[in-house]
Amino acid sequence: MNPRVVNIILVCCAMSVTGCATTTLEKSDVPQEQEAVKLPFQPPKAPLKELDSAVVFSALVGEIAAQRGDLRVAYQHQMQTALLSGDAASAERATRIALVMKQKESAFRAVQEWVRLAPNDLAARQLAVTLFLDDGQKDQAWNNILAIMAITESTGQDGFLNVVTALSKTHNRAVGMSLMNQLAMDYPQDPMSGYGVAMLALVWKQYDLAESTIREVIDDHRDFVKGHILLSRVLVARGDKPGAIRVLEKAAAGNSDESAIQFALAQLYVDSGEYKKAYGRFIKVKKLTPDDPGITYSLGVLAMQLDNLQAARKHFMELLKAGEMVSETSYYLGRIEEQNERFESAIDYYSEVEKGEFHYEAQIRIVRILADQGRVAEARGRVQNLRAEMPEYSVQLFLAEAELVRKQGDDPMAMRLYNRGIEVHPDDISLLYARALFAVSIGKLDILEQDLSKVLELDPDNVDALNALGYTLADQTNRYAEAGKYIGKALELKPEEPAILDSMGWLKFRLGKNDEALVYLEKAMEKLPDAEIAAHLGEVLWVTGHRERALEIWEGALGRNPDSQYLRRTMQRLIGK
């Protein structure tokens, strides 16, 4: 609700209705003529000079109706409040309520009242353009476009981009583009006019028009930096990142003191994975804008990406000393200390990440460090505190704590944690799946089958559950028909997934169909030279007489995965080593 209307309501609530109707307001409460830029459009005088109980009643009913979701009543009373009090904010609210209700005529009435009461309000003018265009009222839309240009000219804003914002939301794109072109013709010497046409075309994915228009603008205005940047964006949208880079490299060479174009090129290098070039370009941007913390932060992140921890630390320490982006900077300094195995220092930095996108990750990293140092009780205590502090991460924290105790070999406690997590989140697929895999690792096939069956009830096309259940039934039971049903469905959903190909190959081997097994297992191994796949492929080769090839595959897999217990057990079982 508009603050002025709220004030009126609060005053009246302290009086009787009769007193409310006759009380004279202080001057500050009377609707005053709005401060307006010097334009042809001047706001009307406010019709009320004293408090009116009808205004109070209408405003209050409209607000209550909106809170209750009765949009029709809310609209009626917001409009009535606007008409009685001259309150532009009520007219705006009525307009937006009508749009939510998809009541076109009501929206028209409200937006026209909004424009009448606040003729210099860009948002009102922009919405009027959109509504009139969608209704086919081209002349009315054009009048509001001219108003936008006049308002922005007086306030020092960019009129063309404000017009683009209005036109981009219309469904009548052909007429919208014709009006944008008409506007551009009225400003033939202003490069922003053609820029506006190209921008609107880009928004609407009319890439040919966008590219040809902005190239014409650049031909006429070689030093128009925004034009080069927009051309690069068009080329990126067309899938031509190398072309976009060439455009910006050429422009940057001729505009070495323009931070905007240097920054755009640096960003494009990042998007293209050319981190070394991006880092060098951001160094140039920093020289042009030395006090911009975002540039220093970008340099730090890129230095991390390039594994230049010394440079990264320098950039992040600069930010920390300046008190800028403290949480983000502390997170990365913690990462640097952790990589350098200065774990206590890492914990100190991570503890400073008190908010933002890295808060949770920093806390989990502390937990992992504590666990790796054998401080398991401390790590678990921190996880439990986090679960109370950050309930939105409850599932992840149950999983993390269970993993902690699993690594310590405390299987009963791990199961209790999975059970507790599922009690709190009974339909969470990630918890059910994790408990299922843990259960089978300790010989509890019944729990695996129960949990994966529930996962499939919740998500029948869950490929991981289909494959895990099918593989386990094939590997540990003789229920091959059921196993084939699950694996077959998983393979239909993801026919090239190596893990599923491996499962099907193992099922074929268990069925005695060794030739078919080799086809699936060879394909799986080609796609993912995993130790378990190698163990399966080697076993089928071994039992079919291809022992040299089996040894070659096993030894190669051991070289890549020397800690694979599954592979070592397979080799021990078959060849005694």
pLDDT value of residue 57: 61
State the pLDDT confidence band at 54, using cuts at 50, 70 and 90. Answer: low
- Displacement of CA 252 from its chain's centroid (Å): 30
pLDDT at 552 over 50: yes
* CA distances, 87 to each of 62, 183, 492 (Å): 14, 32, 61
pLDDT at 461 over 50: yes
**DSSP conformation class of 30:** S
* Region 511-540 average pLDDT: 96
Percent of the chain surpassing pLDDT 70: 89
pLDDT value of residue 440: 94
pLDDT value of residue 255: 82
- Beta carbons of 164 and 145 less than 8 angstroms apart: no
State the pLDDT confidence band at 58, using cuts at 50, 70 and 90. Answer: low
- 130-182: pLDDT as tens digits: 999 998 999 999 999 999 999 998 888 999 999 999 999 999 999 999 999 99
* Region 467-480 average pLDDT: 96
The C-alpha atoms of residue 413 and residue 8 are separated, in whole angstroms, by: 62
pLDDT value of residue 347: 97
- Displacement of CA 398 from its chain's centroid (Å): 25
pLDDT at 8 over 90: no
Percent of the chain surpassing pLDDT 90: 76
* Region 4-26 average pLDDT: 30
pLDDT value of residue 86: 80
- 351-389: pLDDT as tens digits: 999 999 999 999 999 999 999 999 999 999 999 999 999
pLDDT value of residue 81: 75
pLDDT value of residue 33: 35
1-120 is a CATH 1.25.40.10 domain: yes
- Beta carbons of 110 and 94 less than 8 angstroms apart: yes
pLDDT value of residue 2: 40
* Ramachandran bin of 561, using left for φ above 0, alpha for ψ from -120 to 50, beta for the remaining angles: beta
The C-alpha atoms of residue 352 and residue 308 are separated, in whole angstroms, by: 23
The C-alpha atoms of residue 184 and residue 172 are separated, in whole angstroms, by: 19
Domain boundaries, the chain: 1-120
State the pLDDT confidence band at 235, using cuts at 50, 70 and 90. Answer: very high
The C-alpha atoms of residue 209 and residue 565 are separated, in whole angstroms, by: 61
Q: Read out DSSP for 441-505?
A: HTT-HHHHHHHHHHHHHH-TT-HHHHHHHHHHHHHHSS-HHHHHHHHHHHHHH-TT-HHHHHHHH
The C-alpha atoms of residue 7 and residue 563 are separated, in whole angstroms, by: 72
- 275-333: pLDDT as tens digits: 999 999 999 999 999 999 999 999 999 999 999 999 999 999 999 999 999 999 999 99
The C-alpha atoms of residue 541 and residue 553 are separated, in whole angstroms, by: 10
* Region 326-354 average pLDDT: 96
- Beta carbons of 9 and 60 less than 8 angstroms apart: yes
The residues, any chain, with a CB within 8 Å of residue 363's CB and separated by 6 or more, are: 350, 353, 382, 386, 390
pLDDT, greater one: 62 or 359: 359
Least confident segment among 35-44, 194-203, 468-477, 497-506: 35-44
The C-alpha atoms of residue 412 and residue 439 are separated, in whole angstroms, by: 11
**DSSP conformation class of 103:** -
HSE-up of residue 300 (Cα within 13 Å, Cβ side) = 23
The C-alpha atoms of residue 330 and residue 386 are separated, in whole angstroms, by: 19
pLDDT value of residue 4: 36
- 253-286: pLDDT as tens digits: 988 888 999 999 999 999 999 999 999 999 999 9
State the burial class of residue 328 (Cβ atoms within 10 Å of its Cβ: 0-12, 13-18, 19+): buried
* CA distances, 522 to each of 130, 188, 354, 471 (Å): 60, 66, 50, 17
pLDDT at 68 over 80: no
pLDDT at 32 over 50: no
- Amino acid in the structure at residue 116: R
pLDDT at 16 over 60: no
pLDDT, greater one: 73 or 411: 411
* Region 76-89 average pLDDT: 78
* Region 213-219 average pLDDT: 96
The C-alpha atoms of residue 129 and residue 141 are separated, in whole angstroms, by: 4
Average pLDDT over all residues of the chain: 88
Torsions phi, psi of 351, nearest 5? -65, -20
Secondary structure class of 52 (helix, strand, coil): coil
pLDDT, greater one: 2 or 43: 43
- Beta carbons of 234 and 194 less than 8 angstroms apart: no
pLDDT value of residue 14: 30
Q: Read out DSSP for 284-336?
A: HHHHHSTT-HHHHHHHHHHHHHTT-HHHHHHHHHHHHHHT-SHHHHHHHHHHH
- 173-213: pLDDT as tens digits: 999 999 999 999 999 999 999 999 999 999 999 999 999 99
Reading the block at residue 102, the tokens are 């998809």
Reading the block at residue 176, the tokens are 């919208």
The C-alpha atoms of residue 88 and residue 107 are separated, in whole angstroms, by: 14
State the pLDDT confidence band at 59, using cuts at 50, 70 and 90. Answer: low
**DSSP conformation class of 87:** -
